[in-house]
Chain A
Amino acid sequence: EVVLTQSPATLSLSPGERATLSCRASQSVDGYLLWYQQKPGQAPRLLIYDSSKRATGVPARFSGSGFGTDFTLTISSLEPEDFAVYFCQQRKTWPPITFGPGTKLDI
């Protein structure tokens, strides 16, 4: 099973700042890493798939990078609506499909 760890657990920033979130895999997942955003009381929303591809409708301020075991989600300039929890997921080796524990992005 591929174990995903995310850091930091909580990130406190202000609107307009740059956010950098990390996801690390216990073994290589090549480029098969995804990011989801979840706001309170809402379902997750797909943001990034295959490390760097933005899903439909995702603003350009969201970007992803990485390969192998280390991945990064960057939000170039935070908007108020970006404060949420972000989860990574790998699709290289399954079952099981595994998710990271999440990073909470706080104002």
Chain B
Amino acid sequence: EVHLVESGGGLVQPGGSLRLSCAASGFTFSSHWMGWVRQAPGKGLEWVANINNDGSKEYYVDSMRGRFTVSRDNAETSLYLQLNSLRAEDTAVYYCARLQTESNVIFDYWGQGTLVTVSS
């Protein structure tokens, strides 16, 4: 069974940093692209970033490029998201999601999310 468990969220001051982690199990991690999607409280879904299966290519939404960095460790079957220069509008639940092998843009399994709150 596919299992994705995020961690690392919490309360951080504006301008601060956090590193989110996503532990994956139940599938061949190195065969799948992975992604992050966030959801501000009471709002819709916003794509953050994707990373290809060997970690050599990263894709970001323009508004977060340069502040956020996605990475992965296939040996540890883990996905990461480094969040820097955080702003109040980055407050959201951050979901880790697996992408289908047939299409690297279909999120077929999601974790339960980790909440990031940016506030002084």
Name A residues whose Cβ lies closer than 8 Å to a Cβ of B.
34, 36, 42-46, 49, 55, 87, 89, 91, 94-102
| Residues from chain B with Cβ under 8 Å of A43 in the complex | 95, 110-113
Chain B interface, >50% SS class: strand
Query: Is there contact, CB below 8 Å, between A95 and B45?
Result: no
The total of interchain contacts (Cβ-Cβ below 8 angstroms) comes to 54
Seed contacts A87-B45, A97-B105; 9 additional CB < 8 Å A-B pairs: A43-B95, A44-B110, A46-B106, A49-B100, A94-B105, A95-B61, A99-B45, A99-B46, A99-B47
Pairwise interchain contact A49-B106, C-beta atoms closer than 8 A: yes
Q: Chain A's interface: helix, strand, loop or mixed, by majority? A: loop
Question: How many whole Å from B66's CB to the nearest CB in chain A?
Answer: 14
Q: What are 26 A-B interface contacts by the 8 Å CB criterion? A: A36-B107, A43-B112, A43-B113, A44-B45, A44-B95, A44-B107, A46-B107, A46-B108, A46-B109, A49-B100, A49-B103, A49-B106, A87-B44, A89-B45, A91-B105, A91-B106, A95-B47, A95-B60, A95-B62, A97-B47, A98-B47, A99-B44, A100-B44, A101-B44, A102-B44, A102-B45
